[in-house]
Amino acid sequence: MKEITVQDATTGRQPTKRRRRFPFYQTWRLHLMLLPAVIIALIFKYAPMPGIIMAFQDFKPWLGISDSAWVGWENYKLIFTLSDSKQVIANTLIISTLKIIFGLVVPVFFALLLNELRSMALKRSVQTLVYLPHFMSWVILGGILLDLLSLEGMVNQLLGWVGLPQVMFLGDGTWFRVTIIVSDLWKEFGFSAIVFLAALSGINPALYEAAEIDGAGRMKQTLYITLPSLLPIIIVVFTLSLGSMLNANFDQIYNLINPLVLSQGDIIDTYVYRAFQEGQYSLATAVGVFKSLVGFILIGGGYYIAYRWANYRIF
């Protein structure tokens, strides 16, 4: 029987006996394209990892890592004894949890509404408009929000015209959290809806036709066909977002926070940044390692839940 050979994916020629024995010869060009990204990851992600040792030292820059005093778990004990560190962790959890919840509910709702539009031109126009804020930097958006939400800004002027009192959106802790969540939602909900729109396009149209024949209206079709079909992807998105529970978006908070709202707006990332500025390198490193460890556990747990509930796996 004649041996069937498979053509090389990159050259279109049948692989030689040497290439069949070493498959790397067939894909070396693809690995070469990947090499710059791997080198960057090694330099900026893995090479600095020995600096984790600072979390267990009383690090002094003039002594270096090798000669700084070893203090063991003292920095971690200090994290849970400082009142401001506890408040920082609480702020991070509150802001992140609300962002995850609203960042899931609003894109799903928006995708359902957008899916009901029959005019393709209007649908594409709306999609383009809601996607645009995602591509804007928080440096730019922070400046815009500072102008709009200040006491002399447009929003407070509109409130004054309708007889309502002025609101310190960025100077009151409670309103600051609301502003952070709403502005993040406005920036990201359109882009986040892409995955749900893709899932909606994959639903079998025959299900809707059968439901329509049975007399089901649009609302019942949504309740009994659309939402159950979206449930697996909703579970996947929610469980995978648990890994970012301790990430409340440093860029956004850093560009909007001020001393008036520090007690309710300070998060782990801004706390670590200030600790580095004040020369508390060991404490900042300990907080960062703690955050990374918790994030790793949440990501692992999220993947497990996604596999058990939605049969989603990456390997």
Query: For residues 211 and 214, what is the distance between their CA atoms, to the nearest angstrom?
Result: 5
Which range, 112-121, 138-147, 304-313, has the best average confidence (pLDDT)? 138-147
In 10 A of CB 156, how many CB atoms?
19
> Alpha-carbon distance 261 to 171, whole Å?
6
State the average pLDDT over residues 126-144: 89
What integer pLDDT is reported at residue 263 of this predicted model?
86
What's the confidence (pLDDT) of residue 5?
A: 47
Mean pLDDT of 146-155: 88
CA 154 to chain centre: 30
Q: Is the pLDDT of residue 116 over 50?
A: yes
Residue type, 101: I
Query: Of 109, 141, 110, which is closest to residue 249 (Cα–Cα)?
Result: 141
Radius of gyration (Cα) for the chain, nearest Å? 26
Q: What is the mean pLDDT of residues 228-242?
A: 85
Kindly list the structural domains of the chain, giving each domain's residue range(s) and its CATH number in brackets, ordered by start.
1-41 (no CATH), 83-310 (1.10.3720.10)
Contact 107, 193 (CB under 8 A): yes
> Is residue 180 pLDDT above 90, yes or no?
yes
- pLDDT-derived band at 108 (thresholds 50, 70, 90) equals very high
- Of the ranges 18-27, 59-68, 167-176, 248-257, which one carries the lowest mean pLDDT score? 18-27
Tell me the pLDDT of the chain averaged across its residues.
Answer: 84
pLDDT above 80: residue 113: yes
Across residues 33-37, what is the average pLDDT?
A: 91
pLDDT (average), residues 184-204: 89
CB 59 within 8 A of CB 68: yes
At 3, the pLDDT band (50, 70, 90 cuts) reads very low
Q: What are residue 163's phi and psi, to 5 degrees?
A: 85, 15
Q: Which of 298, 305, 313 is nearest to 243 (CA)?
A: 298
Q: How confident is the model at residue 23 (pLDDT cuts 50, 70, 90)?
A: low
Task: Report pLDDT for 6.
Answer: 44
| Mean pLDDT value across residues 143-150 | 90
Alpha carbons within 13 A on the beta-carbon side of 145:
26
Range of weakest confidence among 7-16, 48-57, 274-283: 7-16
- Angstrom distances, CA of residue 94 to CA of 75, 152, 168: 24, 29, 20
Rounded Cα distance, 256 and 265, in Å: 9
94: pLDDT strictly greater than 80:
yes
184 pLDDT tier (thresholds 50, 70, 90): very high
State the pLDDT at residue 312.
67
* Residue 106: pLDDT over 90: yes
Q: Are 275 and 102 in contact (CB under 8 A)?
A: no
Q: Mean pLDDT throughout 251-261?
A: 89
Burial bucket for residue 201 (CB in 10 Å: 0-12, 13-18, 19+): exposed
Beta bridge partners, 70, equal 57
DSSP 207-234: HHHHHHHTT--HHHHIIIIIHHHHHHHH
Is the predicted pLDDT of residue 249 greater than 80, yes or no?
yes
Residue 235 pLDDT greater than 80, yes or no: yes
Contacts of 228 by beta carbon, 8 Å cutoff, 6+ apart: none
